C-alpha cells in the first residue's frame, strides 16, 4: 500500500502534508501527548514496530510536560529526543501547544506544521494537535471529512458538524480515567488501542 505525500510550504507559518488523491493508504499509527515521558515514547515506538505500520504520526506535545500537567513517568526530554531522532524517517508530525522552536533545534525531523491534510482511501483527514483547530474551532471541511487531533488527553470518536472527530488519547498522561493509548488506521478502519495493544474503540470510514 502506498501513501504519497508532498510537503507544501504556505505563505503563512502554516505548512502541511497533502496525500495525493486516489491512492490506497498504508497502515498508519497515530500517537499524541508524550510530554517528555521516556517510558511513553518507548512504548509508542515498540507498538509502532509491533503493529507493522508504515508511518508514525505524532500529534504534538513531544518533549515538555507543560505547566498544567504533573510530571509524567520517567520524564526525560533528552532521552525522548534521542529515541525519536533514531526513528526520524518513520515520523510525520504536527506542532502541539507545548512544542517550541527550541524543541525543533534538537529534533532531526520537522514538528512545526500546525496541521496536515491526508487523503485516507478517498476521505480527507485534517490532522492537527487540537489547540488551534477542534470541534469548538473547526477547520474548513466538507461533509464526511475527518478531524484527528490530540491535546485533550481523552480518547474518543465523535460525530458532529458533518464530520467525524477522532482522538487517540495520550500515550503518557491520559485523563478522565482512560488508559494510555494510541490509534492505528488500516483498510478504512481506525482502532484506538491501549499501549498493551488491546482495542478500545473502532470506527470505519466510507
Q: How many residues make up the chain in this entry?
A: 206
Q: Tell me the three cell numbers of residue 14.
A: 502554516
Evaluate whether residue 19 is within a structural domain: no
- CB contact at 8 A, 127 and 118: yes
pTM of the model: 0.88
Domain CATH number, residue 45: 3.60.21.10
Evaluate whether residue 18 is within a structural domain: no
Tally of domains within the chain: 1
Evaluate whether residue 117 is within a structural domain: yes
Q: Which residue has the cell 500515550?
A: 171
Query: Which of 202, 180, 176, 199 has the alpha carbon at shortest distance from 189?
Result: 202
Side-chain half-sphere exposure of 163, counting CA atoms within 13 A = 18
Evaluate whether residue 106 is within a structural domain: yes
Evaluate whether residue 40 is within a structural domain: yes
Confidence check: pLDDT of 119 > 50: yes
Confidence check: pLDDT of 84 > 60: yes
- CB contact at 8 A, 58 and 92: yes
Evaluate whether residue 112 is within a structural domain: yes
Where residue 115 falls (left for φ over 0; alpha for ψ -120 to 50; beta otherwise) is beta
Evaluate whether residue 101 is within a structural domain: yes
- CB contact at 8 A, 27 and 52: yes
Name the residue range of residue 194's domain.
Answer: 26-142+156-179+186-204
Evaluate whether residue 4 is within a structural domain: no
Confidence check: pLDDT of 25 > 60: no
- Render pLDDT for 36-53 as a digit per residue (tens, 0 to 9): 999 999 999 999 999 999
Amino acid at each position: 500500500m502506498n501513501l504519497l505525500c508532498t510537503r507544501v510550504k504556505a505563505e503563512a507559518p502554516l505548512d502541511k502534508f497533502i496525500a495525493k488523491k486516489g491512492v490506497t493508504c498504508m497502515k498508519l499509527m497515530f500517537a499524541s501527548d508524550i510530554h517528555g515521558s521516556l517510558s511513553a515514547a518507548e512504548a509508542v515506538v515498540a507498538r509502532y514496530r509491533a503493529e507493522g505500520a508504515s508511518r508514525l504520526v505524532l500529534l504534538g506535545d513531544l518533549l515538555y510536560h507543560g505547566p498544567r500537567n504533573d510530571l509524567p513517568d520517567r520524564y526525560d526530554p533528552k532521552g525522548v529526543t534521542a529515541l525519536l531522532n533514531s526513528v526520524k524517517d518513520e515520523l510525520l508530525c504536527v506542532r502541539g501547544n507545548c512544542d517550541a522552536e527550541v524543541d525543533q533545534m534538537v529534533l532531526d525531523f520537522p514538528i512545526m506544521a500546525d496541521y496536515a491534510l491526508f487523503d485516507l482511501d478517498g476521505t480527507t483527514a485534517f490532522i492537527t494537535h487540537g489547540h488551534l483547530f477542534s470541534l469548538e474551532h473547526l477547520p474548513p471541511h466538507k461533509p464526511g471529512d475527518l478531524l484527528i487531533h490530540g491535546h485533550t488527553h481523552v480518547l474518543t470518536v465523535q460525530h458532529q458538524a458533518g464530520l467525524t472527530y477522532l482522538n487517540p488519547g495520550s500515550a503518557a498522561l491520559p485523563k478522565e480515567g482512560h488508559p494510555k493509548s494510541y490509534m492505528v488506521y488500516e483498510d478504512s478502519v481506525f482502532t484506538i488501542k491501549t499501549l498493551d495493544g488491546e482495542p478500545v474503540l473502532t470506527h470505519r470510514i466510507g
